[in-house]
Every structure is written in structure tokens, then in C-alpha cells.
Amino acid sequence: MKIYADVLVVTNCIVELIYLQTTALFTHRRLSKGRLCAACLFGGAMSLLFCADGGTFAGALAITISKAVSLLLTLLIGVKFSRVGDFFRTLMIYLAVRAAYTGLIIIWWEFSQSRRIMVRNFTTYFDISLLKLTAALITAYCLLTVCEFLKRRFRNRAVCYRAVYRSGDYEVQLPAVADTGNRLNDSFTGLPVVVFCCDEMYSHYTLYDPEAAARTGFRLTPYSTIDGSGLIAVTSKGTVTITDEHGNNKVLRCCTGVKPSSGKHSRAVFDPVLLE
């Protein structure tokens, strides 16, 4: 079988792109285009390990270590982490995504005219057309989209929630609304933002004064939710806990956005996906 290096690298760049985007979907992250591009190029280049000589013990050990390190580096390049725990959690999801997509590609390969496949140095080269490979990845992405839609469509929307924001000795409790349209992410940490529409919080942190807001750790970010759109003050300080009517608590991994209630009832708006 002839192995074409350009096809090997380009194919693995595309596959790596899907791996990272799917991982970001499951971990509720927004990836930087620059970091994503760099990670895909690095992952594609590391597929050239396919051509390395692993006939000796030393060579096989070097290739094994290189492949393991390349997976870690690809994830570190593509995703920005603030805590070690986040990295290991995301790594487990990333490895599961790779396994799932590999299985799907093998299924598509079974339907191709050729049955040739070559595995070497932890890298698989399928004798499959780029068109069929693309179709397999598109199919997987469509299935993920459908599953996400159905999950949100049949979610119990009658549940009542309360949101509690704590930062030091300061605490605020508000009724909370699950809004699937709230896809706001903090541009610095990449974390989703829970929006608190509350005049008391807005005044407490002096958010009407941009300089005072900056000193307390807030930054302005464009937003759009069921309560409107504009600029919102966002901070990574403090914690947000969501409690449902049954008393179940969930401490969210998120940032907090604060805006005035504009004459409406004070409430918090969050993406229900954060409860999973």
C-alpha cells in the first residue's frame, strides 16, 4: 500500500479539528481560532510518526512516549486551562471522543470498496477516500447536534430554580431561569457566564463606574439573552450555586455577569446544559 504523507497529514488535521470541537462542545468551552488551528497543525504533523522505525525496543519506546506526549500537547495547545483538574477532566473526554470517532470511521471504511487498512506506531492509515472520511465526520457531528436538540427539547421546563452567588461574605439569592439561548462565554477564561439581572449587585460592585468595576475584577463583555443585549460586567470571582425545587444543588463551573434589572424582577439566567 502506498502511503501519501500529504494525505496523511491533511486528513489528521481535519480529524483533529473535529476531535477538539466535539470536546469543546461536551465541556462547554469556546476555543480560540488561533489555538485551534495550531493544535490541528501539530496533531496532523505528529501523524508522521507513522513513518518512524519502531523495530527495536528503544525505537518502540520512543514512539510510544512521543505519541502520548503529542496527545497531551495537542490538548494543551488547543484548549486554555486555568486548573489542573480541568485539564484531566477534559483529557478523559478528549480520549473518549477520539475512540468514538475512530469507531465511526471504521464503520464507514467497511462500506468502502477497499478493505485495506494499515496501523503503525499508534497511527491508523485507512484506504478510504477523503470524501467518505468527511462524510463520516459530518454524520457524527449531525448525530451530536440531534442528540443535543432532543435533550434540550424534552427537558422539564416547569422546574423552578434559585441561584445563589457567593463571594467572600457577600451573598445574593435570586430566582433563576434556564435559557438555552444564553451561550455567553467569558473571553478570558472561556467559561460560560451566568447572568444576574440585579440592581443591588450592580450597585454593590459600583458597576456604573467602569474604573471602579475594573478594580473589583469585572470586565465588559457583549451579551445577548432573553432579557436583551448590550454590554455586561463579567467576573470570574465568586461561586454560583443553582438549586431546583427538589432541593438538589449544583455548583456551576462558570463566570458571573451582572447587569441592572431595568425595572423588571431581579433574576439569574443560565444555560441548562451547565446542570449536566
Grid cell in block for residue 208: 456604573
What is the pLDDT, as a whole number, of residue 16? 85
User: Distance between CA atoms of 195 and 192, rounded to whole angstroms?
Assistant: 10
Residues 6+ apart with CB under 8 A from 109: 117, 126, 127, 128, 132
Q: CA 61, CA 54: separation in Å to the nearest integer?
A: 8
State yes or no: pLDDT of 49 exceeds 60. yes
Instruction: Write down the pTM of the prediction.
Output: 0.55
Strand order in the sheet with 170-178: 219-225, 228-235, 255-259, 193-197, 267-270, 170-178, 161-167, 239-244, 249-252
Q: Which CATH number is 161-275's, of 2.50.20, 3.40.50, 2.40.70, 1.10.10?
A: 2.40.70
| pLDDT tens-digit readout, 141-167 | 787 777 667 666 655 455 688 999 999
Q: What would the pLDDT profile of 90-149 be if each residue is shown by its tens digit?
A: 899 988 988 887 777 777 667 766 556 666 656 666 666 667 767 767 777 787 777 667
Task: Write the pLDDT tens digit of every residue in 218-263.
Answer: 988 887 665 567 788 999 999 999 988 777 888 998 999 998 887 7
- Locate the domains of the chain by residue range: 5-153, 161-275
Those residues with Cβ within 8 angstroms of residue 249's Cβ, 6 or more apart along the chain or in another chain: 241, 242, 243
Phi, psi of 110 (to 5 degrees): -60, -25
Per-residue confidence (pLDDT) for residue 171, from 0 to 100: 92
Residue 253 confidence (pLDDT): 87
